Amino acid sequence: MKNEFSQLVAKVLAGEASNIEKNLLKQMLLESSEHSLMYNQLKEYWDAEVNLTSKRNKNVFETNLLARLDFEPEVKASRHRKLYLKIASAAAILFFAMTCTMTYLYFTEPKELYTYSAQSTPVEYTLGDGTKVTLNKNSNLTFKSDFGEKRRDVKLTGEAFFKVAKDKTRPFTVEAFGTKTEVLGTWFNVKTNNATSEVSTTLIEGSVQFKADNYNIKLKPGDEVVYNTLTKKYTAGKTDVQFNTAWALGRYNYSNITFSEFAVKLEKIYNIKIDISDKKIANRIISASFVNEEPIEKILKALENELGFRFITKDSTKIKISIKP
């Protein structure tokens, strides 16, 4: 088709086309915007470079052009024949150039971006590879339209809990504040903090690789790494997984810990100071399970009879626990 089009254009511009060929070219231009664009460009080239070239220089012009195209015209070819070959060659080259350009744009143009968001409450999403992502409130997850083809790369703002579908051939990477957490399949939590310029990654199951600047840290279940993007320093070690992930899992579960240890966790969760006056109560071993955002008064009420204490809340910033009289 492209050779037929090139030949028709060459004949029409050189004035050698029959009425049938002219009508055929007209039909091709009406049916294809690509052919129409190419014809207009060739016509402009013809008008500027051929028709305006003086008769004395025309043969030189044609010879030089055909030489650049690595085309050897017949010695006895007529002037119109040479013009026809020149235009046909130019049309073919232009068609090839346009094809290459379109192919380049197709493979290099930016991929479309998709964003998942959570506003006032956490929201769970399932990605195309089967990975489940729970976004905390006021958080966003962005990824390209080619997600899952060769890699699985996402960008996080805020906090998210990931249950990554296992796939050894396609790593899953979370970018946050310039850091990267890379896994093949596991459960983990990533959080960004604009106020402190920190990124924290907590591992629940499996293993992850945390990368930032010159740091490359492998985490084990129960580990957490906190990286400061301003100071370029990090801290890593064991952490309270329940505390860091309860917002996504919906429940805190603590087994066989002292009541004083449990009180410290409640202080972090509810941002309140708890004072235990009796050491025997503080050292009692307990197990406790409660849902996320359950009132602290309800939790303590469930334990007071078992442990034999009473509690008093003082101006919503402090709770005093003492033995029952």
Q: Which of 201, 168, 202 is nearest to 185 (CA)?
A: 168
pLDDT in tens, 282-319: 999 999 999 988 999 999 999 999 899 999 998 778 99
User: Pairing mode, if any, of strands 273-276 and 285-291?
Assistant: unpaired
For residue 131, pLDDT over 90 is answered with yes
pTM exceeding the 0.85 threshold for the entire prediction: no
Output Rg (C-alpha) for the chain, integer angstroms: 36
Mean per-residue pLDDT over the chain, rounded: 80
- Residue 112: band (very low, low, confident or very high) from pLDDT cuts 50, 70, 90: confident
- Cα→Cα distances 158→121, 161, 252, Å: 13, 11, 21
Query: Helix or strand or coil: residue 109?
Result: coil
**More confident of the two residues 184 and 63:** 184
The pLDDT value given to residue 89: 57
The pLDDT value given to residue 220: 93
Q: Which of 182, 189, 226, 183 is nearest to 204 (CA)?
A: 189
Mean pLDDT across 164-174: 92
The secondary structure of 179-225 as a DSSP string is EEEEESS-EEEEEEETTTTEEEEEEEES-EEEEETTEEEEE-TTEEE
For residue 163, pLDDT over 60 is answered with yes
Residue pair 122/133 in contact by the 8 Å Cβ criterion: no
**Range of lowest pLDDT (136-140, 247-251, 263-267):** 247-251
pLDDT in tens, 28-74: 776 665 666 666 656 655 554 444 444 444 444 444 434 433 434 43
pLDDT in tens, 210-240: 999 889 999 999 999 999 999 999 999 999 9
Q: Which residues pair with 33 in a beta bridge?
A: none
For residue 86, pLDDT over 50 is answered with yes
Residue 276 one-letter amino acid: I
The pLDDT value given to residue 46: 55
For residue 324, pLDDT over 50 is answered with yes
Question: Sheet holding 139-144: strands in order across?
Answer: 113-118, 139-144, 152-157, 172-176, 179-183, 208-212, 215-219
| Distance (Å, whole) CA 256 – CA 276 | 19
The pLDDT value given to residue 21: 76
Close Cβ partners of 10 (under 8 Å, ≥ 6 residues apart): 83, 84, 85, 86, 87, 88, 91
The pLDDT value given to residue 309: 94
**More confident of the two residues 149 and 104:** 149
The tokens describing 18, both together, are 């029959």
For residue 104, pLDDT over 80 is answered with no
Task: Please report the domains of the chain, with CATH numbers, ordered by start residue.
Answer: 2-108 (no CATH), 113-243 (2.60.120.1440), 251-323 (3.55.50.30)
- Residue 133: band (very low, low, confident or very high) from pLDDT cuts 50, 70, 90: very high
**More confident of the two residues 47 and 268:** 268
The pLDDT value given to residue 316: 79
Q: Which residues pair with 173 in a beta bridge?
A: 153, 182
Q: Which residues pair with 208 in a beta bridge?
A: 219
The pLDDT value given to residue 49: 47
For residue 184, pLDDT over 60 is answered with yes
For residue 249, pLDDT over 90 is answered with no
**More confident of the two residues 251 and 67:** 251
pLDDT in tens, 11-28: 777 777 777 777 777 777
